Homo-oligomer: A and B are copies of this chain.
Amino acid sequence: MGEEGRKLEAEVADIAGKGGIRFVGPNSMGHADTRSQLSTFGQFGEMPKGQVAVLAQSGSTCLKIVRSLGESGIPLSKYISTGNEADLTMEDYLEYLADDEDTKIIAAYIEGLRDGRRFFNLAKKITPHKPIVAVKVGGTEESARAVMSHTGVLAGADAVYTAAFKQSGVIRVEDDDELCDVVYALLNSPLPRGNKVGILSIGGGPGALAAEACEKEGLAIGKLEPSTITRLDGLLSSRWPRRNPVDMAGPSAAEISVVASLLRAMMEDKNLDFIFLLAPIIMDKALLAGRLGLNPEAVKAYRDKEEKNITLIREKVEEYQKPVILMWQLRGYSDPETTALFRKGGFVVCANARRAASVLKYLVWYRQYLAVATGK
């Protein structure tokens, strides 16, 4: 933003201020409200109504987040590309969303805050009952300069932001992709009670990679209860390692009902707070009809069987408040049918083990924050 731009912007703000007009931007891609179906974002057709609000100090990043959430089947309540915030600021939007009944989760892309104190005071009141997930850039020298020339805000000392986010219960993620994954998880899954992961894997390699990713994120690999080992003995070949990660090591992984039984047994283990599943639990249609060569009736029968197992798993998710995070068969991830099944099952779906471990870490942190903040 050059000198001339700054002058023009001040002039617009001045005129609006005199007329008592509040406005979004400038340098904004617009905003949208799915309740009133009002959009200045160039939206075509009806907007699905949802529970997630997106605030972003960058139009292209706003668009990217909105699209990514949409592809994961997550509709929105509001989204705002806040632009240069010559009048309405990030803090104003946050204050509004605090009381917005349509909004259950707030996602924000932040370059810098004009009134950090106000933002974090608001956040502290909001986060005990409405999660805020935020990505904040400007933590390195050049990204801070990039931010300055983009929306004219000062990025500020990263350590200060980190502390303020932590104290006010804001889940600070590292990029827009993590932001979408965490929003998905918060919307579809309970929060884990602790940090002990159970890993159920189609093979030894993926299990070892997942264990390493989890430990590097500060999660613990839970020790299986003896009774769980006995139950798994009855479901698996004698080759299984009789420990966590549970390597299915054999044909069991091909039979969805066996995978579901193994999963349920692990969810009932008191030493595990959530399960990291590395096996296909839902097949995508293209695979069923294509490589497996099933006819339409057989595909339908397969889906019925899957849905039955998913219902049983979901019951356990609710009963024990233990998330199931899934990674493996991802080709069908953005197919609306399988996406709907994943959400119905309460599975958190991630394309990568390190990303999944990272999402779990955030859930664990937020649960711990809530325990302190709300005494529950």
Contacts and interface: CB of A to CB of B under 8 A. Distances in A.
Contact of A140 (B61, B151, B211): B211
A215 B155 CA distance: 16
Interface stretch (A126-134, A236-244, A260-268, A335-343): A236-244
A316 interface: no
Contact of A204 (B151, B177, B202): B151
11 contacts: A58-B203, A59-B203, A60-B202, A109-B205, A111-B208, A135-B209, A146-B245, A147-B208, A149-B241, A174-B354, A175-B213
A202 B59 CA distance: 10
A150 interface: yes
Nearest to A63: B203
Interface residues of A, number: 57
A207 interface: yes
A37 B60 CA distance: 47
B243 A212 contact: no
Contacts of A142: 211-212, 215, 221, 244-245
Q: Tell me how many chains of this kind the complex includes.
A: 2
Given A203-B59, A352-B175, A243 B149 contact: yes
Interface in A171-204: 174-177, 201-204
Given A140-B216, A175-B354, A150 B211 contact: no
A247 interface: yes
